[in-house]
């Protein structure tokens, strides 16, 4: 009889332990869900990884709405642009390497020509309103692209120079 009682008490204790373990598991679950949603909020990392946004349809915000390239590069215009670029832009841009700003090499593979023109002529508004320029400002640690007060024709010559940087 004593042994049967012992077995019963053992069974009782172990079932209590099992039940309370089960309850613990249930209690833990909401925490797990919280952690998951927390991670989702932090998903900005994904944006940081995609540092190079490619969008050839976005024309940007500013005076330039339409640019048509001649099939061949206008070399004299590009040479003018290269000179201007060295004076006005090379403080922050190196042609092929990331510097204070991005390297313009291949820029026309990731941006429309209109977007590039508007970024040169209207950077103040672009970095506030344009989604690509806004992201670039974050990627480049908040240092803003500066307006060099170029005329549209001067900006166009730099754009032609950028066509030579593939
Ligand atoms: C004071 C530094 C500075 C100067 C000077 C400057 N830029 Fe920038 N530029 C930047 C920064 C920084 C960015 C990245 C966007 C941002 O942080 O605002 C940028 C972005 C750009 C972009 C976009 C590049 C891309 O990959 O999308 C172009 C195009 C550009 N600049 C062209 C020029 C041209 C052309 C000049 C000269 C007329 C010039 N910049 C002068 C700092 C500068």
User: What is the rounded CA–CA span in Å between residue 99 and residue 26?
Assistant: 53
Check whether 127 has a pLDDT greater than 70: yes
Residue 67 and residue 159 in contact, taking contact as beta carbons nearer than 8 Å? yes
Check whether 136 has a pLDDT greater than 80: yes
Q: What does the pLDDT read at residue 37?
A: 41
CA 147-52-38 angle, to 5 degrees, is: 110
Cα of 102 to ligand 1 centre, how many Å? Answer: 7
Protein residue closest via CA to atom 42 of ligand 1: 145
Residue 23 and residue 78 in contact, taking contact as beta carbons nearer than 8 Å? no
Cα of 66 to ligand 1 centre, how many Å? Answer: 21
Q: What does the pLDDT read at residue 17?
A: 52
Using one digit for the tens of pLDDT, what is the confidence trace for 145-155? Answer: 999 999 999 99
Atom nearest to 85 CA in ligand 1: 37
The percentage of residues in the chain with a pLDDT greater than 90, rounded to a whole number, is 67
Q: Cβ-count burial of 120 within 10 angstroms (0-12 exposed, 13-18 middle, 19+ buried)?
A: buried
Cα of 11 to ligand 1 centre, how many Å? Answer: 75
Cα of 79 to ligand 1 centre, how many Å? Answer: 19
User: What is the rounded CA–CA span in Å between residue 130 and residue 31?
Assistant: 38
| CB distance 116 to ligand 1 below 6 Å | yes
Atom nearest to 100 CA in ligand 1: 12
Using one digit for the tens of pLDDT, what is the confidence trace for 28-64? Answer: 555 554 444 444 433 333 334 456 889 999 999 999 9
Average pLDDT over the chain, rounded to an integer:
83
């Amino acid at each position: 009889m004593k042994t049967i009682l012992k077995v019963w008490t053992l069974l009782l204790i172990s079932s209590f332990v099992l039940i309370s373990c089960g309850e613990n598991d249930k209690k833990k679950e909401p925490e797990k869900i919280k952690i998951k949603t927390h991670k989702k909020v932090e998903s900005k990392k994904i944006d940081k990884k995609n540092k190079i946004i490619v969008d050839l349809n976005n024309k940007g915000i500013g005076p330039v709405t339409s640019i048509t390239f001649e099939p061949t590069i206008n070399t004299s215009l590009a040479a003018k642009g290269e000179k201007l670029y060295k004076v006005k832009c090379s403080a922050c841009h190196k042609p092929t390497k990331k510097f204070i700003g991005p390297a313009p090499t291949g820029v026309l593979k990731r941006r429309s020509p209109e977007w590039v023109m508007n970024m040169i002529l209207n950077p103040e508004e672009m970095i506030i309103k344009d989604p690509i320029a806004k992201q670039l400002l974050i990627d480049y640690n908040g240092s803003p692209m500066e307006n060099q007060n170029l005329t549209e024709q001067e900006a166009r010559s730099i754009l032609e120079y950028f066509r030579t940087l593939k």
